[in-house]
């Protein structure tokens, strides 16, 4: 019974106390900075001598920085204000999309300091070649970061597929044609990356950059439809890390056959290919699904452009997709009671047409509790989410356990 008995398996010790309190100070400065040591003591309940000792360790590790006394008008007596450092340790985000590669560096404040996205027909290349291209981009970004005084301490890679938890291997990414690809072993770039599902990272980016709630469902659509569940400010990944398969929730149990073998799954109504088909448009070109830029050749960009022009078939197809999405989400909301639902990824670019029918279905089917239609929102990050989330994941790790970086 995991987590079932109280107190966890480890004894509390002086060492774990210090580790906890370092994170407490780091989190306080991150959330309230610039702040004086006295204010940190006030926020945390720690004594001033304890705060001073912890702050010294965080300064020495380069995780905090001091502004001059002049920069902080809020403290009466001389004493410099503390902020999280914008130099030193940083996060390196990597992304392998179906049609693009991305690299991003963020500092500990969560600010993007380097950002590169290039087209790359990854589904048509051997994984080793894809990873070699990405490693070259990562080397460049690391050099750029070094010029800014930043040193990436860990790398996380976003992939459109299933990833075993805490692993360097992609189990299965069908749209890339990847199966059991040992990314960590093939990697020749600057840091061995931890691989993570892109939808999960997109949701975390949303949580960290634009928090709408501590409990929400983040819907992500590229070629398929996935969801990430954020519970109490943490990603909920299920017993085997495979939670969030919103795309295969049954919408019409006797509906059309799905590639998964079942019938009437949400993807048969609301995935890009289904919407293009319903709109009488040709399937999008392989390899052009993941670009963060809207292009005519990209199915999503085409749908948005045609809908904006008032193409009735396209508008109607998007309305049907929104209805199906609303039906599936109604089940999810009834089951999970989230505070919000966020439409992210490519869906963010179709929000104008998807949101009204999705909200209507949610209103009609979430009736045993109060449900505010405005609780369904569109991501501001859209397709930028996974890459940003990949870089921020490292930043969050540092904030949550500064002791691991030697503080």
- For 8, other C-beta atoms within 10 Å of its C-beta total 9
> Which position among 66, 86, 311, 401 is part of the footprint of a second copy (CB under 8 A)?
401
Using alpha carbons, list the distances in angstroms from residue 240 to 213, 224, 244, 378, 385: 25, 20, 11, 29, 23
Backbone φ and ψ for 246, nearest 5 degrees, come out as: -60, -35
374 is a site residue for a second copy (CB under 8 A): no
Q: Which is nearer to a second copy, 25 or 279 (CB)?
A: 25
Q: Which is nearer to a second copy, 128 or 339 (CB)?
A: 339
321 is a site residue for a second copy (CB under 8 A): no
> Which position among 17, 67, 71, 188 is part of the footprint of a second copy (CB under 8 A)?
17
Segment 194 to 223, residues that bind a second copy, using CB under 8 A: 207-208, 211, 213-215
Segment 38 to 57, residues that bind a second copy, using CB under 8 A: 44-46, 50
Q: Before 34, cis peptide (omega within 30)? A: yes
> Which position among 27, 79, 149, 177 is part of the footprint of a second copy (CB under 8 A)?
27
Q: Which is nearer to a second copy, 191 or 242 (CB)?
A: 242
Of 19, 44, 49, the C-alpha closest to 31 is 44
283 is a site residue for a second copy (CB under 8 A): no
> Which position among 64, 249, 304, 317 is part of the footprint of a second copy (CB under 8 A)?
249
User: What span, in angstroms and rounded, lies between the C-alpha atoms of 351 and 253?
Assistant: 26
SS3 107: strand
SS3 306: helix
Minimum separation from the CB atom of position 284 to a second copy (A) = 22
Segment 330 to 369, residues that bind a second copy, using CB under 8 A: 330-332, 334-339, 364-369
Tokens of 245: 């398969």
297 is a site residue for a second copy (CB under 8 A): no
Reported for 290-293, long-range contacts at CB under 8 A and 24+ positions apart, including other chains, are 290/97, 290/98, 290/99, 290/100, 290/160, 290/222, 290/383, 291/97, 291/99, 291/100, 291/117, 291/119, 291/383, 292/100, 292/102, 292/117, 292/382, 292/383, 292/384
Where does this chain touch a second copy (CB under 8 A) — which range of 64-72, 190-198, 311-319, 322-330?
322-330
Where does this chain touch a second copy (CB under 8 A) — which range of 94-102, 146-154, 195-203, 225-233?
225-233
Q: Which is nearer to a second copy, 17 or 128 (CB)?
A: 17
- For 171, other C-beta atoms within 10 Å of its C-beta total 17
Segment 68 to 87, residues that bind a second copy, using CB under 8 A: none
Where does this chain touch a second copy (CB under 8 A) — which range of 18-26, 66-74, 79-87, 104-112?
18-26
Segment 138 to 177, residues that bind a second copy, using CB under 8 A: 162
């Amino acid at each position: 019974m995991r987590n079932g008995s109280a107190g966890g398996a480890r004894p509390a010790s002086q060492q774990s106390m210090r580790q906890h309190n370092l994170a407490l100070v780091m989190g306080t400065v991150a959330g309230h900075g610039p702040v004086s040591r006295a204010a940190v003591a006030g926020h945390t309940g720690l004594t001033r001598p304890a705060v001073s000792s912890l702050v010294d360790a965080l300064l020495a590790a380069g995780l905090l920085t001091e502004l001059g006394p002049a920069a902080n008008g809020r403290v009466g007596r001389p004493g410099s204000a503390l902020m999280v450092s914008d130099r030193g340790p940083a996060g390196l985000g990597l992304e392998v999309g179906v049609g693009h590669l991305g690299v991003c560096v963020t500092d500990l404040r969560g600010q993007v300091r380097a950002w590169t996205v290039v087209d790359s027909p990854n589904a048509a290349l051997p994984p080793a070649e894809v990873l070699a291209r990405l490693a070259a981009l990562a080397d460049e970004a690391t050099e750029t970061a070094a010029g800014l005084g930043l040193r990436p301490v860990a790398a996380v890679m976003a992939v459109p597929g299933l990833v075993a938890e805490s692993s360097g291997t992609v189990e299965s990414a069908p749209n890339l044609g990847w199966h059991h690809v040992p990314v960590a072993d093939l990697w020749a770039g600057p840091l061995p990356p931890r691989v993570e599902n892109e939808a999960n990272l997109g949701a975390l980016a949303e949580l960290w950059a634009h928090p709408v709630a501590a409990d929400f469902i983040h819907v992500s659509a590229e070629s398929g439809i996935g969801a990430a569940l954020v519970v109490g400010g943490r990603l909920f990944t299920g017993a085997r890390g495979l939670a969030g398969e919103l795309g295969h929730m049954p919408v019409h149990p006797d509906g059309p056959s799905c590639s998964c073998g079942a019938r009437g799954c949400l993807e048969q109504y609301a995935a890009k290919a289904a919407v293009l088909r319903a709109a009488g448009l040709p399937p999008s070109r392989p390899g052009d699904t993941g670009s963060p830029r809207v292009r005519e050749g990209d199915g999503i960009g085409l749908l948005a452009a045609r809908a904006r022009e008032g193409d009735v078939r396209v508008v109607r197809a998007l309305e049907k997709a929104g209805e199906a999405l609303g039906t599936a989400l109604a089940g999810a909301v009834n089951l999970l009671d989230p505070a919000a639902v966020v439409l992210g990824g490519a869906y963010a670019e179709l929000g104008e047409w998807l949101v009204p029918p999705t909200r209507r279905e949610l209103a009609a089917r979430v009736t045993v509790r109060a449900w505010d239609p405005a609780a369904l929102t569109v991501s501001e990050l859209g397709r930028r989410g996974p890459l940003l989330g990949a870089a921020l994941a490292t930043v969050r790790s540092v904030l949550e356990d500064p002791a691991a970086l030697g503080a």
